[in-house]
Amino acid sequence: MSGRRPGGEARSSARTAAGKHRQDVELSIIVPLYNEEANVRPLWEAIRSAIAPTGIAYEVLLVDDGSSDATLAAAAALPAVHPEVRVVKLRRNYGQTAAMAAGIEHARGRVLVTMDGDLQNDPLDIPRFLETMQQGYDIVVGWRHDRKDKFWTRKLPSRIANRLIGKVTGVPIRDNGCSLKAYRADVIKKIPLYSEMHRFIPAMASLAGPRLAEIKVRHHARRYGTSKYGLSRVYRVLLDLLAVKTIIGFASRPAGWFALLAFPALVASAASLAASFYRLVALDEPFSTTIAGIGVLFGALAFFLIMIGMIGELVYKTGDSREDRLSMLTAQRVAACRDAVLTEREET
């Protein structure tokens, strides 16, 4: 592990230096690429023909996620000819979430749009995302209402997963798997993204309380290359979901969360102890080590969980993703001008 990275100051000064430039880039389109050599050029052409007519100052960040084919070469040839393109090369393959996080970190636009590198999303939808953003939304997610995938292996599992994610996280989105999403840069840059969280970005972002919109998008069948998804990851998604639930539901009060888990153990403990006492006194049977032992065992578990909760409080207090900071991202001055977001004051 690299641990703490030195040079925090260097980076923040770089941000102010780039500040002048940031103003003229309105839109950053972030595309993670992993072994998509055949798709790079068509993708860029599609994006250009979709965005250029709108006259928006934009940039395209192609993030090469350690591809083993010629993806990097194909992408690296673009910036010299088309200055709108920037290529972020990762040191090795880290996965889609990390690639998106890297793109988000290096993006300069005020609105960030993420999309897949396999041409299944249509860049022609992007202007509609921008229009929706202008209505005051912080996050706009796409919904592939007419999906061009196989039903049993792709569409059905995804429908079930979306229902479940919506129920558990309380952010009911019809299509979490659609990569085409737009974010206000200030918000998404502060949301921690790691592991395989890209599926849960809206849920994670809900920590900051953004206004969220969902719009229908087109969806094409894959033209080149092969799909990198499969059915095999169900249990991992379930565990991730539980992790996200823990984070968005209880990150700010871990003691409460663990106390909640401790409650059934406490009940089991009390019941066992009472039962062993009852047998001894009322039924006049010999003392049962087993039943009393179970009571003590569950009591110890409850105690353990409560202690873990206290450690959790400690962790939360020393971390930087705290809610008091996240709330600043979307707080609005309601009485004054409706669209003035507090955090934007720095920039004017």
Partner 1 sequence: MRRVQLSVVVPVGKRVDDIESLHYDYRRGLDRCGITYEMIYVLDGDRDEGRKLAELRTRGEPIEIIRLGRSFGEATALMVGFANAHGAKLMTLPAYFQVDSNEFPKLLAAAADADLVVAHRWPRRGSRFETLRRSAFHGLLRAITRQSFHDLGCGVRIMRRRVAKEITIYGDQHRLLPVLAAQQGFAVREVEVAQSPQDDFRGRYRLREYVHRLLDLFTVFFLTRFTKKPLRFFGMIGSATFAAGALFVAILIVQRMLFGMPLADRPALLLSCLLLVLGVQLFALGLLGELIIFTHAKDLKEYKVADVIEAPGRRGERKGAAVPDAGAAARGPDFPGITKATSG
Residues in 248-287 at the binding interface with partner 1, rule: CB under 8 A: 251, 254, 257-258, 261, 265, 279, 285
For 276, half-sphere exposure in the C-beta direction (CA atoms, 13 angstrom radius) is: 15
Q: How far is the CB of 346 from partner 1 (least distance, A)?
A: 18
How many residues bind partner 1 (CB under 8 A)? The answer is 80
Q: How many Cβ atoms from other residues are within 10 Å of residue 192's Cβ?
A: 14
Listed ranges 86-94, 120-128, 169-177, 209-217: which one lies at the site for partner 1 (CB under 8 A): 86-94
Tokens coding 161 = 């997963």
Paired sense of beta strands 111-114 and 27-33, if any = parallel
Q: Residue 186: enclosing H or E segment and its boundaries?
A: helix 185-188
The residue type at 186? D
Which of 82/333 has CB closer to partner 1? 82
Q: Do the beta carbons of residue 193 and residue 101 sit within 8 Å?
A: yes
- Under rule CB under 8 A, residue 319 binds partner 1: yes
Q: Which of 85, 171, 178, 217 binds partner 1 (CB under 8 A)?
A: 85
- Under rule CB under 8 A, residue 89 binds partner 1: yes
The residue type at 299? G
Q: Which of 45, 150, 304, 327 binds partner 1 (CB under 8 A)?
A: 304
- Under rule CB under 8 A, residue 91 binds partner 1: yes
Distance between CA atoms of residues 51 and 258, nearest Å? 49
Q: Do the beta carbons of residue 87 and residue 62 sit within 8 Å?
A: yes
* Of residues 186-225, those binding partner 1 (CB under 8 A): 192-195
Q: Which of 53, 221, 232, 320 binds partner 1 (CB under 8 A)?
A: 320
Q: Residue 113: enclosing H or E segment and its boundaries?
A: strand 111-114
Q: Which of 312, 326, 330, 341 binds partner 1 (CB under 8 A)?
A: 312
* Of residues 134-193, those binding partner 1 (CB under 8 A): 192-193
- Under rule CB under 8 A, residue 298 binds partner 1: yes
Which of 32/177 has CB closer to partner 1? 32
Q: How far is the CB of 181 from partner 1 (least distance, A)?
A: 19
Q: How far is the CB of 327 from partner 1 (least distance, A)?
A: 15
Burial of 240 (0-12, 13-18, 19+ CB in 10 A): middle
Burial of 167 (0-12, 13-18, 19+ CB in 10 A): exposed
- Under rule CB under 8 A, residue 4 binds partner 1: yes
Q: Which of 119, 171, 205, 247 binds partner 1 (CB under 8 A)?
A: 247
Distance between CA atoms of residues 197 and 205, nearest Å? 11
Which of 21/220 has CB closer to partner 1? 21
Which of 130/248 has CB closer to partner 1? 248
The C-alpha R_g of the chain, in whole angstroms, comes to 25
Distance between CA atoms of residues 175 and 100, nearest Å? 18
- Under rule CB under 8 A, residue 83 binds partner 1: yes
Listed ranges 180-188, 222-230, 232-240, 339-347: which one lies at the site for partner 1 (CB under 8 A): 232-240
Distance between CA atoms of residues 64 and 33, nearest Å? 5
- Under rule CB under 8 A, residue 8 binds partner 1: yes
Distance between CA atoms of residues 115 and 110, nearest Å? 16
**What track of x and - describes contact with partner 1 for positions 96 through 135 (by CB under 8 A)?**
--xx-xx---x-----------------------------
